[in-house]
Structure 1
């Protein structure tokens, strides 16, 4: 079967950027990330393609193109190996330590789930009542929202795919810790603030921080902390140093966290982004191989299992 040329792929408004990555293999004698990017940019003439191309961060686009070409999404695997070898290393993000809290899994993956439905329609009163009853039934203080869970709450047009037209972004790329608003969060390791900001829109992050932690020589992990209180975010500026065990932030309430049940969205990244607001917190389920390379599961770091 003949593989379409890059020009042919990018002339179709419905083309996926995975297809573009496959076409690039024939367009280059040897793979080069910079050259691949420039070739796609040059041939993305169709207005719809160009609009989608402009809304995807360069770092994510590079990973998608590499995957489409049959390559790893990122050339570095050291960070993932470090995570696997350091179970429980970040349990100090809560006090008492995260693995000591009585906890229960809270799924947002079932379309008929009442808490999920109330959250999706931003019904604070119902969501809180259902959540409180759920926690009481399980006699739990901490609820866990799973990494890579397919969720029904991402129902707005904000979650339409830019990478795979016709699909939705419904795969959760972070690890959620649900606890009362203003629950303190502590730096799990020394590091620095890479980005601090507030996205004051419903169903977004509200207050957020991004920290960088050097885990080995020349190997770093970036962590996005989402749904934080505004006051705790505004204490920080890019370049500030964070110290292990010191308070980093606090979970935000509905008005400050994007109108979600109070929780932390913790997302790890093995690559830096120029602007972490463009790092997806929810991805296309079909692109799981990419997400697993870029955004590894924080659970073993936080809980030790």
Structure 2
């Protein structure tokens, strides 16, 4: 029964996006005719991701910047259901049995201060500063009603100023700017980027929701967390140097 309900929600979301393309807005500024995306591989297959690199945020940030510049890309992108090695740098992702390494959102890597937009009409569900090393830092969660389907969208690694003008229940409209990418010092100690994630059930949480899970629990989390690419609608990213 639980699986059937989850599948129906996934179908509802896909149908809504297909039948109402005019209701789907942007998350970041991107022109498919002139801008390119770089596919960032943050798995063990990427041998450039040494322990020294991921443990030094400034070095990690320089690596991201160099990748985008070398490939003439506006943003780096990737991460949905990616089994990552980079979380080893923070105890935030450790558990007693199996560390959390499976990424549940899409990351968009770019410069601090990059504007973030609401892709759908909705309201501010909650927000808070998850101020821990490796965590989201400033985070916003929006709630949307898509012809009866309740969908939540999460925006993590923002700047603190993004939270100042928000209030719970405040309406937002498609393509309204709601935030900006945060600096390393305020975004959980990451190179500047946006963690964008969708959820059907917020499970009573406010201002926070897991963005990384145990690999062994992928199927369970995938039922509640659809592919953010359905909303982003990005073109294929390049992955050459």
TM-score, normalised relative to structure 2: 0.86
Supply the RMSD in Å over aligned alpha carbons: 2.4
2:65 maps to 1:132: yes
The aligned residue for residue 67 of structure 1 is none
The higher relative CO (CA closer than 8 Å, separation ≥ 6) is in 2
d(CA) in 1 for partners of 2:192, 2:71: 18
d(CA) in 2 for partners of 1:275, 1:153: 26
2:184 maps to 1:254: yes
Q: How far did 1:113 drift?
A: 3.9
Q: How far did 1:255 drift?
A: 1.0
Q: Which is greater in Rg?
A: 1
The aligned residue for residue 222 of structure 1 is 152
Gapped regions of structure 2 (runs ≥ 5): 236-241
SS of structure 2 residue aligned to 1:140: coil
Contact 1:118-1:124 at 8 Å conserved across structures? no
The aligned residue for residue 194 of structure 1 is 125
When residues 154 and 196 of structure 1 are mapped into structure 2, their CA distance, relative to the original with a 3 A threshold, is: same
Contact 1:222-1:270 at 8 Å conserved across structures? yes
Contact 2:75-2:108 at 8 Å conserved across structures? yes
Q: How far did 1:294 drift?
A: 0.8
The aligned residue for residue 147 of structure 1 is 80
Normalized per residue, which structure has more strand? 2
When residues 116 and 298 of structure 1 are mapped into structure 2, their CA distance, relative to the original with a 3 A threshold, is: farther
Q: How far did 1:171 drift?
A: 0.2
SS of structure 2 residue aligned to 1:195: strand
The aligned residue for residue 209 of structure 1 is 140
Residue among 211, 221, 226 paired with 1:296: 226
Q: How far did 1:83 drift?
A: 3.2
Contact 1:173-1:281 at 8 Å conserved across structures? yes
Normalized per residue, which structure has more helix? 1
Contact 2:126-2:207 at 8 Å conserved across structures? no
When residues 115 and 254 of structure 1 are mapped into structure 2, their CA distance, relative to the original with a 3 A threshold, is: farther
Moved more, 103-112 or 132-141: 103-112
Q: How far did 1:195 drift?
A: 0.7
Q: How far did 1:173 drift?
A: 0.5
The aligned residue for residue 181 of structure 1 is 112
Q: How far did 1:127 drift?
A: 1.4
When residues 235 and 198 of structure 1 are mapped into structure 2, their CA distance, relative to the original with a 3 A threshold, is: same
Q: How far did 1:199 drift?
A: 1.4
When residues 293 and 234 of structure 1 are mapped into structure 2, their CA distance, relative to the original with a 3 A threshold, is: same
When residues 177 and 241 of structure 1 are mapped into structure 2, their CA distance, relative to the original with a 3 A threshold, is: same
- For residues 1-305 of structure 1, the aligned pairs below 5 Å read 72=2, 75-85=5-15, 86=17, 90-97=24-31, 101-110=35-44, 113-115=47-49, 117=51, 120-121=54-55, 123-155=56-88, 156-161=90-95, 166-217=97-148, 219-276=149-206, 279-303=209-233
User: Deviation digits for residues 277-299 of structure 1, max 9, x if unmatched?
Assistant: 56311011111111111111111
Q: How far did 1:73 drift?
A: 5.5
d(CA) in 2 for partners of 1:245, 1:74: 33
TM-score, normalised relative to structure 1: 0.69
Aligned length, in residue pairs: 230
